[in-house]
């Protein structure tokens, strides 16, 4: 407890928040290089010893918690409530849980503030305290007007001092607290500046304590660093219950909200939004926007029934095959791994006898999407063959299978969900591997017919004859 006049400093790892008394080139906790920064030591009073986990658990220490038998714990699952934005509810696992802390991360300008302000606007009468450390109350009002909402029940506070935010929150007792952004908030107890590791950690732990003590859900907005991690320490991800990442090209209009951690639901969920002049619009059926309308007789186009997480998507794959003007043929892929394209072309060459060595091949995934699902292989092969022969594939046909090195067509997981999605969107035929489990191949009652194919020659026969 010796307190000297000199400010004590410690070194923090910006990646995991680990504390060290001296500088180190490599963080011993997470193994990252060159991540230690020097900051004034956090005041003892604000947190007991025990590091990040200790702070996060402090709210439990305060209560008189006792062990109780697991079977006698009553489940009050009703403490979820809907926040009026169906897609967001779904990503959260069916609504927001009381007392939970949600972190929404994303690059600047992606729409985090817009989304968080749309929640009180969509939820009429929900007493929300919207705290902004980035914008003034007037700016928030202007944004709300632009979003076309009344926002009855929404209180706005432009503040950056944590202690004031908590005092105001305890006074107005909101049903939802939104803090935009955690990097602009600072606590008096800590000497370093806002956005530093110790500030972010301390502010997040205090807000977590508030959330658990008052059963108020808290939404934190967090900025993302260049390398894609949430700025500030990783401990932030450990402290919160849910981490949602907002992704997308800030120049394009579509945004994807992905759940990367969820203590109350699946992490495979994602939601698609469109940024419009009046805020974010939910895109409840992403396949509809991803398949542009085109004429029937366009060769080189094939549709793939792919999955992103647990969500089936139908995407259009476009290929252009033309005679190479110079010796070495060009191969280029947009939205797809070009090495995998080269592999698929080599398979076509070697196993199915197509003379593609003297051809330029260009591949594009429509809608600016990037696909990694191996189930796209069959659609890619089909689009290349379609362009090569200049024979079009009916737009009512789609594909879902992987292509192996020996030219065999391999099954992919969740084929039933892909078939169901294609059927829902009015497709009449779906090509899958004949090595799928027999129940997937069974004739279905619905409008879609399932075409099993075993290899590439079989695909050509069925598709182009």
Chosen residue from 21, 31, 54, 109 binding ligand TYD by CB under 6 A: 109
What residue has token string 């951690």?
Answer: 261
Q: Are 7 and 190 in contact (CB under 8 A)?
A: no
Our finding on whether 136 is near ligand TYD (CB under 6 A) is: no
111 binds, among ligand TYD, Mg ion, none (CB under 5 to 8 A by kind): ligand TYD
What is the 8-class DSSP label of residue 430? E
Q: Are 104 and 91 in contact (CB under 8 A)?
A: no
The number of beta carbons lying within 10 Å of the beta carbon of residue 410 is 16
User: Element (H or E) spanning 128, and its range?
Assistant: strand 128-132
Q: How far is the CB of 219 from ligand TYD (least distance, A)?
A: 12
Q: Are 81 and 198 in contact (CB under 8 A)?
A: no
234 binds, among Mg ion, ligand TYD, none (CB under 5 to 8 A by kind): none
C-alpha to C-alpha distance for 428 and 381, rounded to whole angstroms: 20
Our finding on whether 116 is near Mg ion (CB under 5 A) is: no
Which residue, 283 or 384, has its beta carbon nearer to ligand TYD? 283
Stretch that binds ligand TYD, among 43-51, 272-280, 404-412, 419-427 (CB under 6 A): 272-280
C-alpha to C-alpha distance for 259 and 262, rounded to whole angstroms: 7
Sign of the CA dihedral running 264, 267, 268, 273: positive
Our finding on whether 277 is near ligand TYD (CB under 6 A) is: yes
Stretch that binds Mg ion, among 105-113, 267-275, 381-389, 436-444 (CB under 5 A): 105-113
Q: How far is the CB of 245 from Mg ion (least distance, A)?
A: 15
Chosen residue from 113, 192, 205, 262 binding ligand TYD by CB under 6 A: 113
C-alpha to C-alpha distance for 361 and 349, rounded to whole angstroms: 13
β-bridge partners, 449: 429
Chosen residue from 146, 170, 370, 437 binding ligand TYD by CB under 6 A: 146
Q: Are 316 and 367 in contact (CB under 8 A)?
A: yes
Our finding on whether 112 is near ligand TYD (CB under 6 A) is: yes
Beta strands (DSSP E) in 138-268 are: 154-158, 176-180, 218-223, 242-247, 254-262
Our finding on whether 177 is near ligand TYD (CB under 6 A) is: no
Which residue, 108 or 457, has its beta carbon nearer to ligand TYD? 108
C-alpha to C-alpha distance for 129 and 165, rounded to whole angstroms: 10
User: Element (H or E) spanning 304, and its range?
Assistant: strand 301-308
C-alpha to C-alpha distance for 225 and 106, rounded to whole angstroms: 9
Stretch that binds ligand TYD, among 141-149, 183-191, 200-208, 361-369 (CB under 6 A): 141-149
Vertex 355 angle, CA 350 and 359, to 5°: 120
Q: How far is the CB of 340 from Mg ion (least distance, A)?
A: 37
What residue has token string 């084929």?
Answer: 415
Short-list 227, 230, 225, 226, CA closest to 244: 230
Site for ligand TYD in 278-307 (CB under 6 A): 278-279
Stretch that binds ligand TYD, among 29-37, 111-119, 185-193, 257-265 (CB under 6 A): 111-119
Chain-centroid distance of CA 88 in Å reads: 11
Which residue, 56 or 218, has its beta carbon nearer to ligand TYD? 218
Our finding on whether 113 is near Mg ion (CB under 5 A) is: yes
Our finding on whether 426 is near ligand TYD (CB under 6 A) is: no
409 binds, among ligand TYD, Mg ion, none (CB under 5 to 8 A by kind): none
Our finding on whether 215 is near ligand TYD (CB under 6 A) is: no
Short-list 322, 290, 323, 293, CA closest to 304: 290
106 binds, among ligand TYD, Mg ion, none (CB under 5 to 8 A by kind): ligand TYD
Which residue, 111 or 312, has its beta carbon nearer to ligand TYD? 111
Our finding on whether 275 is near ligand TYD (CB under 6 A) is: yes
Our finding on whether 110 is near ligand TYD (CB under 6 A) is: yes
14 binds, among ligand TYD, Mg ion, none (CB under 5 to 8 A by kind): none
90 binds, among ligand TYD, Mg ion, none (CB under 5 to 8 A by kind): none
Residues near Mg ion, by CB under 5 A: 113
Residues near ligand TYD, by CB under 6 A: 106, 108-114, 143, 146-147, 275, 277-279
């Amino acid at each position: 407890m010796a307190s000297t006049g000199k400010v004590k400093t410690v070194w923090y790892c910006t990646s995991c928040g680990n504390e060290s008394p001296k500088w180190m080139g490599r963080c011993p906790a997470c193994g990252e290089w060159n991540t230690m920064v020097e900051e004034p030591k956090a005041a003892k009073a604000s947190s007991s010893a025990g590091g990040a986990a200790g702070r996060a658990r402090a709210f439990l220490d305060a209560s008189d918690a006792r062990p109780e038998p697991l079977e006698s714990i009553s489940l009050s699952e009703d403490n979820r409530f809907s926040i009026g934005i169906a897609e967001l509810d779904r990503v959260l696992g069916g609504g927001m849980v009381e007392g939970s802390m949600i972190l929404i991360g994303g690059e600047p300008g992606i729409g985090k503030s817009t989304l968080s302000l749309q929640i009180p606007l969509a939820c009429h009468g929900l007493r929300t305290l919207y705290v902004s450390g980035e914008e003034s109350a007037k700016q928030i009002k202007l944004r709300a007007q632009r979003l076309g909402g009344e926002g009855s029940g929404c209180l706005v506070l432009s503040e950056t001092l944590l202690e004031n935010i908590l005092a105001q929150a305890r006074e107005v007792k909101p049903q939802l607290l939104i803090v935009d952004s955690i990097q602009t908030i600072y606590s008096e107890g800590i000497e370093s500046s806002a956005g530093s590791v110790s500030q972010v950690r301390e502010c997040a732990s205090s807000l977590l304590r508030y959330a658990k003590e008052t059963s108020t859900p808290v939404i934190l907005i967090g900025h993302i660093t260049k390398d894609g991690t949430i700025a500030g320490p990783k401990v932030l991800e450990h402290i919160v219950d849910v981490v949602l990442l907002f992704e997308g090209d800030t120049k394009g209009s579509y945004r994807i909200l992905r759940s990367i951690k969820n203590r109350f639901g699946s992490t495979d969920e994602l939601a698609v939004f469109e940024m419009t002049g009046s805020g974010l619009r939910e895109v409840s059926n992403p396949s509809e926007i991803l398949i542009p309308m085109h004429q029937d007789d366009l060769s080189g186009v094939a549709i793939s029934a792919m999955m992103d997480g647990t969500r089936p998507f139908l995407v259009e794959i476009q290929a252009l095959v033309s005679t190479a003007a110079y010796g070495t043929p060009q191969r280029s892929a947009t939205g797809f791994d070009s090495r995998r394209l080269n592999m698929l072309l080599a398979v076509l060459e070697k196993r199915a006898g197509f003379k593609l060595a003297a051809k330029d091949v260009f591949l594009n995934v429509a809608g600016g999407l990037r696909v990694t699902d191996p189930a796209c292989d069959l659609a890619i092969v089909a689009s290349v063959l379609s362009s090569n022969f200049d024979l079009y594939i009916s737009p009512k046909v789609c594909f879902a299978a992987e292509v192996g090195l020996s030219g065999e067509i391999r099954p992919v997981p969740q084929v039933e969900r892909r078939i169901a999605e294609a059927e829902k969107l009015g497709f009449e035929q779906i090509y899958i591997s004949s090595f799928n489990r027999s129940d997937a191949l069974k004739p279905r009652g619905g409008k879609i017919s399932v075409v099993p194919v075993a290899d590439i020659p079989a695909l050509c026969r069925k598709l182009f004859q």
